[in-house]
Amino acid sequence: MKLGVIGYGARISHVIDEIIRQDPSCRIAAITDIRKDKVRQEHQKLQDVTFYDSAEQMLDSEKLDGVLIGTRCSLHTELALKVLPTGLPLFLEKPVATTLEDLHRLQEGYRASRSQVVVSFPLRVTTIVQKVKEIIDSGQLGTIEHAQAINNVPYGGVYYHNWYRDEAETGGLFLQKATHDFDYITYLLQNQPESIAAMTSKQIFKGSKPAGLQCADCEENRTCPESTAFRSDLPDTWKYCCFAEDTGNEDSGSALIRFKSGMHLSYSQNFFVRNEAGARGARFMGFKGTVEFDFYTKQVKVMMHHEDTVKTYEINPAEGHFGGDTVLARNFIDVMRGQAESVSTLDDGLLSALMCLKAKQSAETGTFQAIDWIPVRAAVAQP
């Protein structure tokens, strides 16, 4: 099967490698990328691939089985709107939109299209989340009436040292990180969010260093704990000072989400913790019991409220978003073959992006924001 790629970035190249690993009959037939000469030079395996100057040119010239979009975030909507009218299966990186205007445009484009879209939300299909879903759906905890979730990111420097520091590009860190968490949470709860209140802070990654300063040129590059000047384990793009006056993005954020049933959830994310302080997971509470999990500890715990029982599941997921990348790659192959529906639809991507954009709006205005959501397509496949 022939794959067309719009934006051959690091993330989408990993997804494509996983697709080809699972089904060697898949191959990259065409790529559109503004860095086409550099991409061709850096990847010998792409020497026989046809490169195009525009998505339109590629879509008009090639007979493809599927398209993958891996550009920077602000272009996701614009390029998805070029692919959707073709009816081709589409793998779309998150966030699917970075503004409310783009979100509404994408929603209308999806409504007019027959394309199956797999959004890059691997957490919902991980073994860990599937185990939690099994426990919640069994009813042993009772109806879930309260939830708490956290994402303390030990590799948060990525959002301050390279292009991710540009808030105009990222849309802020709710859209960058919470979009994954909001997705798996709504997937597990099967409960529609109705409103959100949020707050962000920038307490650490700020300062008076000159705009554009690179760690290699800073006189403190041997003493600064965040310096990347001598880090051989990081990409060369991690080069800018995260204490400069042009460093964007908040470094922590929290949200309260009210759901249609009346229950609410608290969520918090942090970007300056390091090492063992990293954590990502949630706790879901019913009257009868609680289930909690953490992706980093690879554990799921079930604690019953009215008996002295704690059951622990040790999960050993595969690499790549805790095994979720493998599931999504397999699903996209099956979608291209016409053998499956998407397990992570554009409706899922649109809802998560809407929640993140409303959280950002809430943080900026100090107000609750309504989440007015009507899905475009009712049918949703299950992993």
Average pLDDT over residues 155-183: 95
How would you list the strands of the sheet with 90-92, edge to edge? Answer: 50-52, 27-32, 2-6, 66-69, 90-92, 117-119
The residue among 174, 194, 191 whose CA lies nearest residue 253 is 174
Mean pLDDT of 24-47: 90
Residue 380 resides in a domain: no
Pair (47, 105) in one structural domain: yes
* Average pLDDT estimate for 170-193: 97
- CATH of residue 167: 3.30.360.10
In the block, tokens 């905890």 appear at: 141
> What is the H or E stretch that residue 79 is in?
helix 76-83
Query: pLDDT tens across 221-255, in order?
Result: 999 999 999 999 998 899 999 999 999 999 999 99
Read off the pLDDT of each residue in 324-341 and give the average, rounded to a whole number. Answer: 97
**∠36-38-44 over CA atoms, to 5°?**
95
Q: What integer pLDDT is reported at residue 380 of this predicted model?
A: 47
* Confidence band, pLDDT 50/70/90 cuts, at residue 318: confident
Looking at the fold, whether 170 and 304 belong to one and the same domain comes out as yes
Of 185, 215, 247, the one marking the end of a domain is 247
At residue 383, the pLDDT reads: 56
In a domain? residue 264 = yes
Same domain, 87 and 220: no
Number of domains in the chain: 3
This prediction's pTM: 0.96
Which domain covers residue 57, as residue numbers?
Answer: 2-121+324-347+355-370
Instruction: Determine how many CB atoms are found less than 10 A away from the CB of residue 235.
Output: 12
